[in-house]
A and B are shown apart, each in its own frame.
Chain A
């Protein structure tokens, strides 16, 4: 393929060439930056929840009347809710899946410099397994007799044995069995023993953002105080969730002096966990795609213009023996060279934008694979954009050379 005429032609029409290169560079910069941010943001997005979140209701009550007895109310709540038709199971809990934000550090030893492992500790009773439909992976699952129940004043002791999630076991103990191992839930607290392993479930945004979505520990205890009531997780018969929400709310309001902070299906909680990031990433992506379309049209237009400027030359080449495919190849090659230069510069622009964004967000967005993929897509789109004008050029009749000057 004869490259020299292409370079000479570009040299003669420097302005057009630069115009094309800059357009491609900017578009590449914007598109790949958006894709990078979007992929990073969405990489931990919409992961499996591990629970039947469409059929679980969460209720978060709070007493504003301080004369009420929280402990008694708890018992009555559980009874009342259990008698509501289509309710399968209810468990009090200090954390709700998708919003378990109380991230803490746990340790394998009691040493000063012990390595910290991030997790969330869920304090709940034996019904949690039925509510969340968790399966026992290894070891033993705790029962009612293991659960320590009481107010924080009267019952200061904590459960000595806990269960950990499958992912937690993997992180802490690798291939070894976690059963019977000791871990510390805080630097100066008493150690606890691992009695069993349960299947993974989604914790919340804080752990998800760090790629540790499924690291959790369940401790068999339910504690309360006047200011701190547990949440309730209620599993209902499939499909009855939306209808039951009102009925269950009424049940809770039977207790006076109370306010329900939150009542919703876990499906909604999950949606909220993912929405914020999702919409921002999506906005940037949409804008970038629009930009890509605009640039595509721009390329088509520019090339069509060049074709009209070069009519006579194209005709001459055809008369001298160029085939239609030779003409097409000429324009496609010229465009590819410009695109390549533009993409290279665009990659530099991407680095600049991504660096800035990474600094701001404290998160590393750079991913060479994504950049290369985006470059490839852009190159293909460009070829497509130039295809039609190039085809038109190829169809210029050789006979025009014998017409007017």
Chain B
């Protein structure tokens, strides 16, 4: 479903050329739950941005469901983000002025769906995360954990190809973190692909597969051999 071949991201300034990602090869299949780890400055965030089509890249190819994302126009990338990717952010990033219902509505609006279809999807998504009763509330009236669950509802409402989570439990206490992880595992068990970036090794182990990024390069580790760090040249 998601294939990166030889992808490199280079930041160029007048003085310095930084290779944030170096010749990354990656293949993620449908239904996988993949965690991405690495120390700060390793290129995790860059990987996140590229995977989420939030940034463009210079070298290599990135295939989403067979479509090459490289070189696409900004409008086309927006479309892809809208339809194929479901984002979950560390700081929830809900729109503070809008009630929960409308927050979940945002990506659906950009798709131009009918009001009836949107309503159905929103209600379903909120039920899945267990917050259907709080539809009219504002984000500020919810706890951190609840806000993140709304964000998850927003991410799944449009039936994306995969969910892309950036430190989804980073701003939550252990109880809420647990709830959120269980929710994600539940969603994954129903067939949704999830890519989760985290610095928490414990959380990383809950995924099927762990990808490590170090100095802009990726190494793939199966869960079984998580304790051995193999560094590719």
Contacts and interface: CB of A to CB of B under 8 A. Distances in A.
Interface string B62-96: 00000000000011001101110001011101011
A397 B78 contact: no
B42 interface: no
Contact of B97 (A8, A317, A323): A8
B158 to A, nearest CB: 8
Nearest to B151: A316
Interface residues of B, number: 31
B45 interface: yes
B184 to A, nearest CB: 18
A319 B87 contact: yes
A368 interface: no
A41 B78 CA distance: 55
B38 interface: no
A4 B95 contact: no
Contact of B54 (A8, A319, A323, A324): A319
29 contacts: A4-B98, A9-B97, A312-B93, A313-B96, A315-B93, A316-B89, A316-B93, A317-B95, A319-B54, A319-B87, A320-B107, A320-B110, A320-B154, A321-B79, A321-B83, A321-B107, A321-B110, A321-B111, A322-B78, A324-B75, A326-B78, A326-B110, A399-B55, A401-B93, A402-B52, A402-B89, A403-B45, A405-B90, A405-B171
B74 A324 contact: yes
B95 A316 contact: yes
B39 to A, nearest CB: 17
Contacts of A315: 93
Given A320-B110, A321-B107, A401 B97 contact: no
A402 B165 CA distance: 10
B106 A317 contact: yes
A112 to B, nearest CB: 75
Contacts of B166: 402
A326 B75 CA distance: 10
Contacts of B171: 405
Contact of B78 (A9, A11, A318): A318
Interface in A172-221: none
B102 interface: yes
The 5 closest A-B pairs by CB, nearest first: A321-B82, A405-B91, A320-B107, A323-B78, A399-B54
B219 interface: no
Contacts of A321: 78-79, 81-83, 107, 110-111
A278 interface: no
Nearest to B89: A401
B45 A402 contact: yes
Interface string A387-404: 000000000011101110
A405 B109 CA distance: 25
B54 A402 contact: yes
B49 interface: yes
A113 interface: no
Given A5-B102, A402-B45, A323 B74 contact: yes
B81 A320 contact: yes
A315 to B, nearest CB: 8
Nearest to A8: B97
Contacts of A2: 109
Contacts of B78: 318, 321-324, 326
A324 B54 CA distance: 13
Contact of B98 (A8, A320, A323, A325): A8
A321 B82 CA distance: 4
Contacts of A402: 45, 48-49, 52, 54, 89, 166
Nearest to B94: A316
A56 to B, nearest CB: 69
Contacts of A320: 81-82, 87, 106-107, 110, 154
Nearest to B44: A402
Interface in A294-345: 312-313, 315-326
